[in-house]
Amino acid sequence: MPRPFDTTTAVPPGSAADRLDRVVAALFPGLVPSRAAAKAACKRGDVLVDGVPAEPSRFVAAGQQLTLLPHSGPLPAPFPLALEVAYEDDAIAVVVKPPGLPVSGNQHRTLRHALSANLAASPRPDALRLPEPAHRLDAATSGLVAIGKTASALAALNAAFASRDVAKRYRAVVVGRLEGEGAITVPLGGRPCETRYAAVQHGAAVRCGWLTVVDLWPLTGRTHQLRRHLAGLGHAVVGDRLYGTRGTILRGLGLFLAAVELTLPHPDDGRPVQVEIPPPRKHAALLRREARRVARLSD
């Protein structure tokens, strides 16, 4: 018998018959983040086909009812890390991810495993046992991450990200003197891609001549999009070990890239929720340090 707080949907009309694990991963994005997770849910008995548990290899067709039950296994121990919570209500939250911390993954040290100890449990009927991130940031990137606290809210957030109804602004410090504003539209991995940028501040630097503080708006969501686009433009992000230039990978200071603003439609009523945080203090500290070094060399 289904447990409370089930999430049920029908296989869409016109769908070709397909394996259950593949269909579950497609119909419950966010709640089931991958086909492997869908397969595991089926094996636990957490997926019902027309009310009956089914194996992941079973083929399902249009019109059949799929029910995703809450994960009934033991909850992982919270990862003991205090997070800054920038916004929270009963349905969603926006938290600040520290640099160097993966959003999720097979290890215990992740943002996902730290959420339950930092967020209030939702009182809603479809509350998730564990809050779930609705999108990812690179481990090296810090900043704002949207979280779903209920099944319906998480599904709505995932749909908003997929349809590009979420606006994101990043702040970076890059190598060289990048002037003005513009758009980078170089495809990545053979797929269309667009990043808009605007220079905010310039500062002299000893090794690379100049540093530029820049605001960035990704209009697509490719892997390492901002870092790859900036490096291709000749202005790699300071501290970028993958795409950076020699002399600008500062030991122990990490990547100078942060997600500082997030605007998304609230799952309840579509009203815009705008969350903004200041850029990391190390950005301004780097420019001050380089200014002092340049001044000493010119004396």
Phi and psi torsions of 37, nearest 5°: -65, -35
Q: 71 pLDDT exceeds 90?
A: no
The first and second tokens of residue 263, run together, are 């605007």
Q: 6 pLDDT exceeds 70?
A: no
pTM equals 0.83
CB–CB of 166/264 below 8 Å? Answer: yes
Q: 86 pLDDT exceeds 70?
A: yes
Q: What is the DSSP letter of 133?
A: E
Q: 166 pLDDT exceeds 70?
A: yes
Q: How much is the average pLDDT of 22-30?
A: 82
Q: How much is the average pLDDT of 168-178?
A: 97
User: Around Cβ 199, how many Cβ atoms within 10 Å?
Assistant: 17
Read off the pLDDT band of 4 (50, 70, 90). Answer: very low
For residue 5, the model assigns a pLDDT of 52
Question: How far apart are the two ends of the chain, measured CA to CA in Å?
Answer: 80
Q: 62 pLDDT exceeds 50?
A: yes
Q: Does domain 167-259+282-298 have CATH number 3.30.2350.10?
A: yes
Q: 73 pLDDT exceeds 80?
A: no
pLDDT digits (tens, 9 = 90+) for 119-138: 999 999 888 888 989 999 99
Enzyme catalytic residues: 138
For residue 1, the model assigns a pLDDT of 32
Burial (CB count <10 Å: 0-12, 13-18, 19+), residue 165: middle
Order of all β-strands in the sheet with 7-10: 7-10, 65-68, 47-49, 52-53
For residue 3, the model assigns a pLDDT of 43
The first and second tokens of residue 101, run together, are 């911390």
CB–CB of 255/140 below 8 Å? Answer: yes
Give domain limits for the chain.
Answer: 7-68, 84-163, 167-259+282-298
For residue 223, the model assigns a pLDDT of 92
As a whole number of angstroms, the distance between CA 91 and CA 30 comes to 15
* Cα angle, residue 109 at apex, residues 276 and 106 outer, rounded to 5°: 110
Q: 87 pLDDT exceeds 80?
A: yes
CB–CB of 130/116 below 8 Å? Answer: yes
Q: How much is the average pLDDT of 151-178?
A: 92
Owner of token pair 């998480």: 154
Q: Give me the CATH topology for the region 7-68.
A: 3.10.290
Burial (CB count <10 Å: 0-12, 13-18, 19+), residue 296: exposed
One fold for 7-68 and 167-259+282-298: no
- Candidate from 32-36, 65-69, 167-171 with smallest mean pLDDT: 32-36
Burial (CB count <10 Å: 0-12, 13-18, 19+), residue 130: middle
CA 177 to chain centre: 29
CA 205 to chain centre: 32
For residue 287, the model assigns a pLDDT of 96
84-163: what CATH class?
alpha beta
Rounded mean pLDDT of the chain?
91
As a whole number of angstroms, the distance between CA 182 and CA 217 comes to 11
